[in-house]
Structure 1
Amino acid sequence: MSWFRALKGAARSGLTVERKRLEPLVALRGAAGLALVIAVSLTLFGPAAAAGSAFGGFQAAIATFQRSWRPRPQLALASGASLGVSTFLGYLTGSHLVLFLPLLALWTFLAGLSWAAGPTTGIIASSNVAMMLVTITLPTTVAEAAGHAAVMALGGLVQAALVVLFPVRRWGAHRDALADALAAEADYARRLRHDPVAPFDPAPLMLARNAAALTPRQARTRPAQLHGTRGVAERIRPVLASLADPAVGVPAEGPERDRARELLAAAGSILDAAARAIRHGTPVDIPPDAIAAFDSPDLDAILSGPAKRAATRLGSLLRDVVETAGGTPTPEPRVPAFRRRLTARAPLRRTAPRPAPSAKTRPLHRPTLLQLLPVVVRAMEREVRAGASVSRYAYRVCAVAVAGYLLGNALPLGHGYWVPMSAVMIMRPDFSQTYSRAVARFGGTLVGVALATGVVRLAHPDTELSAALAVLCAALMYLLMRTGQLVSQACVSAYVVFLLGMGGEGWSQTVPERLVLTLVGGVLAMLSYALYPAWETPRLRTRLADWLAALGEYAAVVVDHYAHPAGRASPDVREALLKARDAHIAWQEAVDRAKDEPVRHRGLSNAAADDAAHALHRLGRVAMLMEAHLPERDATPVPAAAALADALRTAVRDGARAIRERRVPEWGAVRAALDAWDGEGVPDRVVRRGAGMLVESLEELSEALDTDDPPMSVESRETSAE
């Protein structure tokens, strides 16, 4: 992609306004907390302290809006406290350039590295640095600086208290994540009716897994509907695929295929009903047609073999989903057998005492904020040592903040801190977000400042009216922040103008300079990425190799279970599957970022990347189909599977290394192990057919990578070696 097209796409993305589901009650709660903080500070300490406390309350409320599975009060407290500490330290050194610049460099560098712990931590840390640059100009003495830090922390405390006292749809984000996972599987079941090899995006399942990781306090208070459903949903996906697949399920045409389509449609309806019940906290209302499909007496007569096993397993898993979803279907005079199975156990009431969770249902552990500190430190250390994109972003934002501060102070415009503040708020670890935010920030600043200036000139607001207008702008920002960057930046710009006006700075002292200085900060941010980039395009080969290595290990673990059915049970399969999904998500995110970068590919064209991804999708799908039919502990072992699993592990490691070195992987050893398998008896066609499809997927990957740009064929490599 050329620079012109990349910049055009980034500008369009930054200026886009989308229709999103609004949350007025949450926005009202955040605005009420901000108003309370400003009113108390204004009454007790005066306008300057009120302006400082308003920044703390404003930032703490924004922290509660971030996509995080942690308790919202903790985010508000952490945001307010960290902003207070930053402001106090900034004021102590602000009058001495030789002291303040090292502090600014250290603070921005650590804020940049904090993205290694996740976007929520990174956004809060970056916002704290940006607001510190503004708030250190408000106090005039050390005592006042300490007071400002205290009221900023108080703003976070007030927002946290409001979240506790007035919860809005508590556990709503966790419910949505689990419901989205079930809805995605329902959609997958319906697509399998028409396309038996339809792909499935694992992102909803991964999101649901992240939401299921809880702190000890959350684990004690989570609703019954969030107990165990995700684990059951994880097991449904391979069963759906195995029922629909022509290779190991039902034939492509005929009565069995028609019966499978009915079951898939019924499964989609039941999963949708469970998703609605979990999302809204209501009983599960299953459509009668869906129940009738699984209760049909001809189920056993039409299906046989692996398809019959898959259908039986699917019915059992759907019953578990309905039971754990926390509701009872609408009663009818005649209750079919399948409905009796669905309602065999009454769901747990929210007020009923819960038994101690078993090893299978115990929630995933999420560290508390104090426990998170060493985790974040280790993540930062890894980023610095690896020289990854996050560490490059940290160096970049550090240099821009220091250069912007010096440049802003050198310009004869006053309020030079707007330059580094704008740059820090704009910059993100990847190219497209940084450039789109730069365009959105300047456009939003222009709109917000123009509107605020018009209001100031017409109304000449006093301190109280300026405070009320600032709260109104903050409320609009909380309400519309998810609709687009342009809207949120416009609201923030107007908010800052009114807030500084309340603190005693006239609009003529801030508005004209702010437009120019914001533009300077945006240009610095954009130039920094052009001069010191962290392009994802050259790393696509590494991401592809990581995905292959993870998928190959997952496939090898599954195949090995056929050789040792009485050995270890599924935990190692589960662990390998999660690593494969993580690698898949990393590949997809890298591809999404790379397509917006103005960089030519280096040895992996778009067509080759798409074909290689298709081959790996097929590899993962075949391994999933074999996982759906893992043998019981008393099943007959398949000795040849052990040799194939060992060959897979070795060949995949070598293949991943070959991809990183721009060579085509070779699978001769895997093909030889498969040929040796044919001489032995195989008790189930799923095993041998699945093994053959694994090898075919690996060979398809090599064909996708055997391109002429640059030459990568095995023959050309052998010729060059001679």
Structure 2
Amino acid sequence: MGLTVRSVLPDAAAALRSLAAVGVIAVIAALWGPPGSATSAVAVAAVAGATAFQDSPRSRIPLVYLVSGLCGVAVLLGTAVSGLPVLFLLLCALWCAGVAMLWAHGPNTGLIGAASGALMVAATSAGTPVSVGAALGTAALAVVGGLSQAVVLAVWPPQRWRAQRDAVVAAYRSLAADARRLADGRDDGWAVDTEPLVALREAFTDVSGPTLRRPAVYRGWYALPERIAATLTDMANGPRSEALSRVLEEAADTMAAVADTSRAGRVGTHVSIGRFDSVVTEIDGPESGTVRRLSALLHEVAAMRLGDFVPSTPDAVRLRRPELPTSVRSAMDTVRGHLNQDSPVLRHAVRVGAAVGLGGGIAQYAGIPYGYWIPLTALLVLRPETAHTYTRCVGRVAGTAAGVVVASAVLVPFAPAPVVSLGFAVVAVGIAYLVSGVGYIAMSGAVAAAAVFLLDVARAGTPSSLTDPLIATIAGGALAVIAHVALPDDELTRLAQRAGELLKTEIDYAATVIKGYVHERENATEEMTAAWQRVSRARSAFEATTGAMRLESRDFRLWLRSYRTAINSLTSSCTTLEAHMPTRPAGVDREFAITVDEFVEALCGDPPTAASPWTVDAAELEAAAQRLREAAPRERAEDGSSRVLVAEATAITRSLTAVAISPVPISAR
């Protein structure tokens, strides 16, 4: 039920270990747990497993703790009051509306909240009241199921994560050695050892695959060492003093401590960064600029190593003890900022609460068999999206209905024992892992099939039906669409979503073209064609939205004119780049290729969310463009393609900066 979390499957072995943990908790719950507890235990284990697979190199295990606790509370409350229909409906509506506000922190967090709501809604699937003792036992097993994934993750981390950790350690050890050589004056032919940095980037990225939007906290793991290396190179080419040598020595000690993965390394990092700060104050000469830059980079590195809260990143989950209060306050402030009528997150929460409450009421009082699928479907398919709302909602309903039909086609003729249904549920969870990157329709089908098998365990002894859950699913999908129609986002919110979608597709098109200058790709032409088609569809949707609005505000008309100008300029730059793209990007300088990749990452920015449909970090993008301009003379392309790339990258930066400083005017509201 909760495998709606977008997971990035690390490797097959990691998936099998996660499924093994799900299977173990299923057996334990079936043999020794209260009746029906296997449903919640397996579901929470699956949710925690999907959460652990998210593509973030930090805070995985603490996040699994958090997910296990949240889902455990949902299971406890849902099972405890399942025998009180009015209270249960009110609690479900309020809980689902409340956790829907978690979309303010991004898609993964929002989907985790939806999973907890699904667990609460499914508490009535057994159809019999549950005692307080049984509710406590069920919730405890659910939490144990989630924590089992943390144990698996801690004992056997995926191979890719181990490779990333080793690459980070090697890079900082190499940088520490380079800083010591520079501090000792051994700079005859001095240069940063780039091999560990190249290996680090390769461990975190797949340059041959499609461009992915990753948060800044992810990119920092391989981008920060590269920027430190560039700063050390500037120091080697600049003025030197005794104070600078001491700064370099302390910087080397700090990076060596960061490379120590033991507990002693945490203590050493804290001590070393303090000593580094004490010697930085002695610098006041011409080298002070590069020292300040090195200081800022090392502080960010230390923050990532110590788990400190970094305000510049969107990730608010920092569960190490000293930073927990700051993280909680930041998370609450973010949610509180969306408690206004114009927020798409709040409107989504209202839609979810209304749909779950109404759907649950229909299921309770209309006597519909398998009626719990009405609020469950509405909860699983509703999203805080404006672009392609109905298309995607209908697609998710279709996927859910297909999953229900397939699973019911197995249950109805064979009527398997509960333990066999649990086995089918584990298999469906594995299929959900496999199709997690295929698309939302396939994912919805796999999740629905797993839910059908799990809920059949709770309904042990009751004959299965093929048509009843399908009818309830379709009714729930219709209720979700009605909720969108009855409680739509306001015009400017829809415009912001459409503008964000257009900007995102334009940026994806630009990133696809730019990467073709430095990386060979098997299907480059097909990728660029597909990217351009997405741009065309997004542009049509944007123009349709603006055409349906009354442009009475002068500020609004000025914004619309400047936005269209910037987008047209961006399209023109992409067209020029595509026209001058080299046939084969052979002989490209490695450092130039890395600089181009950095520009693409800054160009893509952070993944769009319901809270911020598009954002452009103009400062980061301009810094990346400047590094690209500085690296261009080292490129040896004879056809001038590198000069075209640098020129159009500068134009793209200028266009996106114009968009960033011209948001939709508030006065237009």
TM-score, reference length from structure 1: 0.52
Cα distance change on mapping 1:442 and 1:394 into 2, 3 Å: closer
Matched, 1:530 2:439: no
Match of residue 145 from structure 2 = 155
How far, CA to CA, are the matches of 1:428 and 1:175 in structure 2? 35
Cα distance change on mapping 1:612 and 1:161 into 2, 3 Å: same
**Contact kept? 1:477, 1:492, Cα under 8 Å:** yes
Count of residue pairs brought into register by the alignment: 442
Unpaired segments of 5 or more residues in structure 2? 1-5, 176-192, 206-224, 234-251, 277-294, 310-316, 501-534, 552-556, 574-615, 628-649, 663-667
Cα distance change on mapping 1:150 and 1:386 into 2, 3 Å: same
Match of residue 428 from structure 1 = 383
Cα distance change on mapping 1:133 and 1:522 into 2, 3 Å: same
Match of residue 98 from structure 2 = 110
Match of residue 387 from structure 1 = 342
Q: Which amino acid aligns with 2:330?
A: V
Q: How does 1:664-703 map to 2 (within 5 A)?
A: none
**Contact kept? 1:63, 1:76, Cα under 8 Å:** yes
**Contact kept? 2:376, 2:476, Cα under 8 Å:** yes
How far, CA to CA, are the matches of 2:82 and 2:368 in structure 1? 19
Shift of 1:118: 2.5
**Contact kept? 1:116, 1:383, Cα under 8 Å:** yes
Match of residue 67 from structure 2 = 79
How far, CA to CA, are the matches of 1:434 and 1:541 in structure 2? 14
Matched, 1:225 2:175: no
How far, CA to CA, are the matches of 2:624 and 2:203 in structure 1? 35
2:423 to 444, 449, 468: 468
2:229 to 292, 309, 320: 320
**Contact kept? 1:68, 1:120, Cα under 8 Å:** no
Match of residue 610 from structure 1 = 564
**Contact kept? 1:88, 1:146, Cα under 8 Å:** yes
**Contact kept? 2:100, 2:349, Cα under 8 Å:** yes
**Contact kept? 1:134, 1:417, Cα under 8 Å:** yes
Provide Cα deviations, 1:433-476, integer angstroms capped at 9, x if missing partner: 65344333332233323332333356543233222221111111
Provide Cα deviations, 1:309-366, integer angstroms capped at 9, x if missing partner: xxxxxxx978926999xxxxxxxxxxxxxxxxxxxx9996956967624533123433
Segment drifting more, 165-174 vs 130-139: 165-174
Shift of 1:24: 1.7
SS of the equivalent of 1:223 reads helix
**Contact kept? 1:225, 1:278, Cα under 8 Å:** no
SS of the equivalent of 2:81 reads helix
Match of residue 559 from structure 1 = none
SS of the equivalent of 1:362 reads helix
Matched, 1:41 2:33: no
Provide Cα deviations, 1:12-45, integer angstroms capped at 9, x if missing partner: xxxxxx9x97732232122111101011122222
Cα distance change on mapping 1:174 and 1:595 into 2, 3 Å: farther
Cα distance change on mapping 1:393 and 1:449 into 2, 3 Å: closer
How far, CA to CA, are the matches of 1:224 and 1:100 in structure 2? 54
**Contact kept? 2:377, 2:477, Cα under 8 Å:** yes
Shift of 1:626: 12
**Contact kept? 2:52, 2:61, Cα under 8 Å:** yes
Match of residue 406 from structure 1 = 361
Match of residue 590 from structure 2 = none
Match of residue 50 from structure 1 = 38
Cα distance change on mapping 1:458 and 1:396 into 2, 3 Å: closer
1:519 to 468, 474, 477: 474
Matched, 1:600 2:555: no
Match of residue 280 from structure 1 = 203
Shift of 1:141: 1.3
**Contact kept? 2:100, 2:110, Cα under 8 Å:** yes
Match of residue 334 from structure 1 = none
How far, CA to CA, are the matches of 1:467 and 1:380 in structure 2? 37
Match of residue 92 from structure 1 = 80
Q: Which amino acid aligns with 1:225?
A: A
Q: Which amino acid aligns with 1:422?
A: T
Cα distance change on mapping 1:113 and 1:628 into 2, 3 Å: same
Match of residue 218 from structure 1 = none
How far, CA to CA, are the matches of 1:26 and 1:140 in structure 2? 36
**Contact kept? 1:56, 1:151, Cα under 8 Å:** no
**Contact kept? 1:497, 1:507, Cα under 8 Å:** no
Shift of 1:69: 5.1
Shift of 1:600: 3.1
How far, CA to CA, are the matches of 1:54 and 1:468 in structure 2? 11
Cα distance change on mapping 1:133 and 1:274 into 2, 3 Å: same
Cα distance change on mapping 1:272 and 1:520 into 2, 3 Å: farther
Match of residue 568 from structure 1 = none
Shift of 1:381: 1.5
Provide Cα deviations, 1:400-438, integer angstroms capped at 9, x if missing partner: 211221223344422322111111111111124653443
Matched, 1:30 2:18: yes
Match of residue 129 from structure 1 = 117
Shift of 1:502: 3.1
How far, CA to CA, are the matches of 1:503 and 1:544 in structure 2? 46
How far, CA to CA, are the matches of 1:160 and 1:501 in structure 2? 27
Provide Cα deviations, 1:257-283, integer angstroms capped at 9, x if missing partner: xxxxxxxxxxxxx9999444433389x
How far, CA to CA, are the matches of 1:393 and 1:607 in structure 2? 30
Match of residue 169 from structure 1 = 159
**Contact kept? 1:431, 1:529, Cα under 8 Å:** no
Matched, 1:438 2:385: no
Shift of 1:132: 1.0
How far, CA to CA, are the matches of 2:51 and 2:475 in structure 1? 27
Cα distance change on mapping 1:271 and 1:491 into 2, 3 Å: farther
Match of residue 441 from structure 2 = 486
Cα distance change on mapping 1:395 and 1:70 into 2, 3 Å: farther
How far, CA to CA, are the matches of 1:226 and 1:439 in structure 2? 49
SS of the equivalent of 2:547 reads coil
**Contact kept? 1:408, 1:416, Cα under 8 Å:** yes
Match of residue 457 from structure 2 = 502
How far, CA to CA, are the matches of 2:172 and 2:477 in structure 1? 44
Q: Percent identity?
A: 25
Match of residue 313 from structure 1 = none
Aligned-CA RMSD value: 4.9
Cα distance change on mapping 1:169 and 1:592 into 2, 3 Å: farther
How far, CA to CA, are the matches of 1:626 and 1:281 in structure 2? 19
2:373 to 415, 418, 423: 418
SS of the equivalent of 1:374 reads helix
SS of the equivalent of 1:94 reads coil
Matched, 1:65 2:53: yes
Q: Which amino acid aligns with 1:74?
A: P
How far, CA to CA, are the matches of 1:99 and 1:151 in structure 2? 24
How far, CA to CA, are the matches of 2:620 and 2:65 in structure 1? 47
SS of the equivalent of 2:36 reads helix
Shift of 1:124: 0.9
How far, CA to CA, are the matches of 1:228 and 1:536 in structure 2? 54
Segment drifting more, 471-480 vs 532-541: 532-541
Match of residue 144 from structure 1 = 134
Provide Cα deviations, 1:613-638, integer angstroms capped at 9, x if missing partner: 46799996999489959xxxxxxxxx
Unpaired segments of 5 or more residues in structure 1? 1-17, 180-221, 230-269, 283-315, 325-344, 546-587, 630-692, 706-711, 713-722
